[in-house]
Amino acid sequence: MELICKVCGYRSRNLEPHISGEHADRGGLEWYINEYGVFPEDIVDPNLTKPEEPKAKSKKKLDPSMIDIAGKQLKKITESSQYVPSINDAYVWNEDIPDIIEDMQENLPIMLIGHTGCGKTSSIFEIGARINQGVLRVNMNGQTTIGDFVGLWTVKGGETVWIDGVLPHAMRNGLWLIVDEIDFAEPAILSVLNAVLEQHGKLTLKEKGHEIIEPHPNFRLFATGNSIGCMSDYRGLYQGTNILNEAFLDRWQVYHYDYLPAKDEVKILVKTVPKMTDRIAKQIVFIANKVRDSFKKEEISCTFSTRRLLDWGKKMIRHRDPIKGAQSTVFSKISREDAEVIRGIIIRRMRGENEDEGS
């Protein structure tokens, strides 16, 4: 319906623009309402459809059962387990973690290769910690037998009983199993793994009457190694490792890890070590990378893991002396020859030498 302006007889379904503009000299809309005793709603046709206000974008509801890790969503495990690791809040994810998570979701076996102490094993522990997943680790240090791995019969309380090894225990209970330093594993252990690595693989316990173990849906298999594939050039640094053939490696998704970028290790030091400054952290990381370079060149037989870096940083801050801080965290763990080389690297750096090589 049309409304009529009481001043000039102008007709419109909405008098607001007319009054505010044409009768602005008299006081506009406020004057008109007071002068003629009308209400604001009396000058606009109530049936006039006003343009709808843009709807606010609805926020995507977060699923509390899902955990975001490096931009990937993983479902949190509701069952409790004594094997769930603790979270390291200062942990920095490797750049391959998104791909690794996708492989995990597809239940593909994953092998991480790289130098000792570069974060291969810890990355799996950190993922498990955040989603409440139990993780078991078995180290192929030359002393791990097929019985430790698969299981064995033993006498207990006068009776002969079967005790599961780590592999069937993980498969039955839905744990993640990390076979650490798999390039040190006995051929018998690798042979057992072959069957489990098959698609929909199962484990047959021949020693237990050929019992067949179906893996729990949460079971995942991981391995780490130091001298596999593209790391084979460094086999001389890891005496005693075995050569794994390509047929075995083709059963795995293999990712090559390196030490974290210097800027990330600096962040970890500052965030983890009380009273650690950015300047000191940069010096420590520079020294660690010089040691790692010497290790790769086979000039020394030890390297610098991130864990050793943190331990040394804490003791350095405590003693305010890098050499004294390195006594219990570095020097006492390695040969005298290697200790002297690293001592020299620390002293030269702290004296300000080799400044052109880094800050």
**Can you give the C-alpha Rg of the chain in angstroms?**
34
- Is residue 61 over pLDDT 70? no
Where do we find the tokens 């001592």?
343
Q: Is 25 helix (H, G, I), strand (E, B) or coil?
A: helix
172-218 tens-digit pLDDT: 999 999 999 998 888 889 989 988 998 888 999 998 999 999 999 99
Specify the pLDDT at position 358: 47
Residue boundaries of the structural domains of the chain: 3-43, 66-256, 262-357
pLDDT tens digits, 124-142: 999 999 999 999 999 997 7
| Residue 353: pLDDT band with limits 50, 70, 90 | low
CA distance readout (Å), 57 to 52, 54, 63: 14, 9, 18
Residue 171 has pLDDT above 80, yes or no: yes
Q: Output DSSP code: residue 258.
A: -
pLDDT digits (tens, 9 = 90+) for 228-245: 887 877 776 777 778 888
For the domain covering 66-256, report its CATH number.
3.40.50.300
DSSP-derived letter for residue 8 is: T
